[in-house]
Amino acid sequence: MSKRVFNFSPGPAALSEIVLKRAAEEMLDFQGTGMSVMEISHRSDIFREVMSETEDLFRELLGISDDYAVLFLQGGGTLQFSMVPMNLMTGSGKADYIVSGMWAKKAFEEAGKFGDAKQVASSQSEGFTYIPKINAEDVRSDADYLYIAWNNTIYGTQYKAVPQSGGVPLVADMSSCIFSEKINVDDFALIFACAQKMFGPAGLTAVIVRKGLLGKAGADTPVYLDYKTHYDGDSLYNTPPTYCIYIAWLTLKHLKEIGGVEVVQEMTERRASRLYSFIDESSLFTIPAAREDRSSMNALFVTGDESLDRKFIAQAASEGLVNLGGHRSTGGMRASMYNWLPDEAVDKLIDFMYRFEKDNKVK
Ligand SMILES: Cc1ncc(COP(=O)(O)O)c(C=O)c1O
């Protein structure tokens, strides 16, 4: 008998057990083909059906209109740090970035290779503990886009409202929050998300882009890095990551079955607030992130004593609560609570924290 742990990994993260079991059941014979889904042609009718249903689920669950293309790409979130400027920073050649964490910073630095990238706000000097607030006047009115990272996986902060961009198209990295909250896609020119936190295995990245922005890449853009190539080819310009798309399909079907984004939003916000309330009451643990910007996906907390933090992480793991270590740049603890982490995991974590605090009270 295999034993599952409570996996608080920031990514690749826990997937739905129902989905994993279904994938295991049809591993050797996908829908009567006598082959696994990994062994069939990406151009077969049966796989095309999986792809088009996955796109339909994206559209239905996120409310994406026909004005937007939904692309299934590779290269992780990181390749989007290059593809976004290559495709969109082609009007004035200017783009503005809000640097709220390490991933946004990497995206900003990469954009500088393609044009005039400007950091319009940053919370780096405060250890990225808050979301920098801006006014519309802070954004250059002729910028090709304003870039944000909606949820800062490493620092546990998250946007609660769309920033004022003064009409400048907004680009958002939603890698660690897509499908966890209701969004209005029309507020954005482009949204991207790698799959391995919210909707599948590493290897797939979804890009939701306003169709009017396609076809603007420079003439010397490699064909593979032009969004239009993938739009024109129905994300089948070359062999896509078929197994990842299949798991995304199963995951989104399951998400729809349990009631969709609104239902998981209520669940994930409820349990994040349970954990945060417990920590707020605690005399041992504290939360570095600003209260109003706390993420409901990644909760960071510390004891203030690095050796005690290490003890916490090791002891928690021995009780089956795994991957609670903070990122190497922050230290401390981080509980990532994406859609597919069972509710019970957070109850068990709070119970463990309560006991740990009692046993390790500062004398
Ligand atoms: C918000 C965010 N953006 C981008 C990335 C990078 O994604 P990838 O490792 O798929 O390139 C991550 C990875 O953790 C992330 O959390």
State pLDDT tens for residues 259-314: 999 999 999 999 999 999 999 999 999 999 999 999 999 999 999 999 999 999 99
Closest ligand 1 atom number to CA of residue 205:
10
Compute the average pLDDT of residues 178-182: 98
- Write down the pLDDT at residue 3: 87
Q: Of the listed 138, 173, 226, 309, which one is catalytic?
A: 173
pLDDT level of residue 362 (50, 70, 90 thresholds): low
Residue 300 CA to its chain's centroid (Å) = 16
How much is the average pLDDT of 115-135?
Answer: 98
Q: Which residues sit opposite 193 in a β-bridge?
A: 206
CB atoms < 10 A from the CB of 233, how many?
12
Do the Cβ atoms of 208 and 58 come closer than 8 Å? Answer: yes
The yes-or-no verdict on residue 1 having pLDDT over 70 is: no
150 is catalytic: no
- Specify the long-range contacts of residues 107-116, CB closer than 8 Å, at least 24 apart: 107/80, 107/81, 107/147, 107/149, 107/173, 108/147, 110/81, 110/82, 110/85, 111/81, 111/84, 111/85, 111/147, 113/82, 113/85, 114/82, 114/85, 114/86, 114/89, 115/85, 115/89, 115/144, 116/92
Q: What is the pLDDT of residues 299-313, one digit of tens each?
A: 999 999 999 999 999
Alpha-carbon gap, residue 247 to 9, rounded angstroms: 18
Check if the beta carbon of residue 130 is closer than 8 Å to that of residue 181: no
Q: Is residue 45 annotated as part of the catalytic site, yes or no?
A: no
Ligand 1 within 6 A of CB of 147: no
Q: From 128, 175, 205, give the residue whose CB has the most ligand 1 atoms within 8 Å, as the site to mutate.
A: 175
pLDDT tier, 2 (very low <50, low <70, confident <90, very high otherwise): confident
Half-sphere exposure of residue 98: CA atoms within 13 angstroms, side-chain side: 28
Measured in angstroms, how far is the CA atom of residue 81 from the centroid of ligand 1? 10
Q: Is the pLDDT of residue 150 over 70?
A: yes
Q: Is position 103 annotated as part of the catalytic site?
A: yes
Ligand 1 in contact with 51 (CB < 6 A)? no
Distance in Å, CA 175 to ligand 1 centroid: 6
Strands (E), the chain: 6-7, 68-73, 94-99, 116-122, 146-149, 151-152, 157-158, 170-173, 190-194, 205-210, 298-301, 321-322, 333-336
Question: pLDDT averaged over the chain?
Answer: 97
Percent of the chain exceeding pLDDT 70 equals 99
The answer to whether residue 363 scores a pLDDT higher than 70 is: no
Tell me which of 197, 226, 228, 249 is the catalytic residue.
Answer: 197
- Cβ of 103 below 6 Å from ligand 1: yes
Atom of ligand 1 nearest to the CA of 76: 10
Tens of pLDDT, residue by residue over 214-235, are 999 999 999 999 999 999 999 9
Alpha-carbon 265 to chain mean position:
14
Confidence of residue 164 (pLDDT cuts 50, 70, 90): very high
Mean pLDDT in residue range 317-335: 96
- Measured CA distances, 159 to 100, 170, 304, 349 (Å): 10, 13, 26, 25
- For the beta carbon of residue 106, count every other beta carbon within 10 angstroms: 16
Q: Which of 9, 102, 153 is the pocket-test mutation for ligand 1 (most atoms within 8 Å of CB)?
A: 153
* pTM listed for this prediction: 0.98
- For ligand 1, whether the C-beta of 158 sits within 6 Å is no
Residue ranges and CATH numbers for the domains of the chain are 18-257 (3.40.640.10), 261-359 (3.90.1150.10)
| Residue with token string 């605090």 | 357
Using alpha carbons, list the distances in angstroms from residue 228 to 50, 82, 112, 202, 254. Answer: 22, 15, 23, 23, 30
For ligand 1, the distance from its centroid to the CA atom of residue 359, given in whole angstroms, is 36
pLDDT tens sequence across 245-264:
999 999 999 999 999 999 99
Q: Assign 121 a pLDDT band (cuts: 50, 70, 90).
A: very high
Instruction: Check if 173 has its Cβ closer than 6 Å to any atom of ligand 1.
Output: yes
Whether 93 shows a pLDDT value over 80: the answer reads yes
CA 230 to chain centre: 21
Residue with CA at minimum distance from ligand 1 atom 15: 175
pLDDT at residue 179 greater than cutoff 80: yes
Residues 116-144 have a mean pLDDT of: 98
